[in-house]
Amino acid sequence: MTTYAKHSTTYSKHSTYYTSLDSPVGELLLTADESGALSSLSVPGQKGGRTVGPDWRRAPELFKEAERQLAAYFAHELKEFQLETRTSGTEFREKVWSAIDSVPYGTTTTYGEIAARVGASRVAVRAVGGAIGANPLLIVRPCHRVIGADGSLTGYAGGLERKVQLLTLEGR
């Protein structure tokens, strides 16, 4: 087994580390790999969300910066996260997630606009919605800023109530 030393603790390669945090939108479950790169942020009841696995290791010390930035975000003091993240998806999903990352704080965009940004046809809007729904980094990757073409708050893996809370927090 390969191990890495960090913060005078030994972390195993290929392990999943986690912590949970309280937030204004409920409990957050954060996961990271052995390097400390954030790999997911999910909420209870989230469609496709993660749950703690039997071989996961609690390591709150790996998440101090994420905890600091999330607290600042919820306190209206942070508009853009600067965290090391490591997620994996298909090439298409990675393009969609990158497009979501570029949606500024306090603004919204539509599924059709995201499709256009990634060079997908209007027919592919449903696939864009699927990629957005599979976003493993709720809040940090702001999929809550994507709304329907008619302005409706359609779809959010974390629940529409949380989507409303996040958009309200951002002044929308």
Summarised one tens digit per residue, pLDDT across range 108-130 is: 999 999 999 999 987 888 899 99
Residue numbers of the chain with a pLDDT score lower than 70: 1-14
Helices 125-133 and 91-101: crossing angle in degrees, nearest 10, is: 80
Tell me the whole-structure pTM to 2 decimals. Answer: 0.87
- The pLDDT of residue 47 is 86
Q: Please, what's the b/e burial string for 107-117 (b: 16 or more CB within 10 A of its CB; e: otherwise)?
A: ebbbbbbbbbb
In the chain, the amino acid numbered 72 is: A
In the DSSP assignment, the letter for residue 137 is B
CA dihedral (144, 145, 149, 152) positive or negative:
positive
- The pLDDT of residue 19 is 97
Beta-strand relationship, 28-32 and 109-110: unpaired
Q: Please, what's the b/e burial string for 63-72 (b: 16 or more CB within 10 A of its CB; e: otherwise)?
A: beebeebbee
Instruction: Give the active site residues.
Output: 143
